[in-house]
Chains A and B, each alone.
Chain A
Amino acid sequence: GAVVSQHPSRVICKSGTSVKIECRSLDFQATTMFWYRQFPKKSLMLMATSNEGSKATYEQGVEKDKFLINHASLTLSTLTVTSAHPEDSSFYICSAPWSRSGGQETQYFGPGTRLLVL
């Protein structure tokens, strides 16, 4: 089945630094990828939709200059948390839709990235 990977799986950084998280579709092409954020014991909240070859679409309340998204190829989307602060500490999950030609769509989730900002 289709697989989505994320790297790194966990990262600890100092306040004020930037952190890049990668989301890769390993065996299919994804023109769209979604980035979600999950606080401890909470649900997944959509942050933004990453579109290959065009600008990402951000949800209301998500700072686009804070969370930079680049979808440079059909298999890779990156989320960069700029000037990270402790309140950015969270679990970040990506997902990508895929379907066989004429088939039903399935979405695949990455394993997530745990970010801790000290």
Chain B
Amino acid sequence: AQTVTQSQPEMSVQEAETVTLSCTYDTSESDYYLFWYKQPPSRQMILVIRQEAYKQQNATENRFSVNFQKAAKSFSLKISDSQLGDAAMYFCAYRSWNYGQNFVFGPGTRLSVLP
């Protein structure tokens, strides 16, 4: 079974600064997806970024980028130019490659953005 670990229960960053959230995972599969989801106080899950394991290039979405190290099974999220609206719970998630598979979520990191 797959597991996802986030070793930072809480993080804080100054507005406009950069922060990196850590995630490691364990799997025996070679093809899979990795995700970062944001959950604001509304509790709606919002997709931040996704990475296909077969892609060597790290995914980027505007201010959000990942450092995907497949051999090390590491998948960190970097948020640049942090904004107050970035404050939320961030979940790292794993999903198998086959269609219609469930997510395996990490325990989450609560990010605070300081003005």
Contacts and interface: CB of A to CB of B under 8 A. Distances in A.
B103 A97 contact: no
Contact of A31 (B100, B101, B105): B100
A91 B42 CA distance: 12
Interface residues of A, number: 22
Contacts of A41: 110
A111 B91 contact: no
Chain B: number of interface residues, binned into ranges: 10 to 19
A99 interface: yes
Interface on chain A toward B: helix, strand, loop, or mixed SS? strand
A79 to B, nearest CB: 15
B56 interface: no
A106 B108 CA distance: 21
Contact of B102 (A34, A38, A42, A106): A34
B106 A111 contact: no
Nearest to A44: B105
Interface of B: 42-45, 47, 91, 95, 99-108, 110
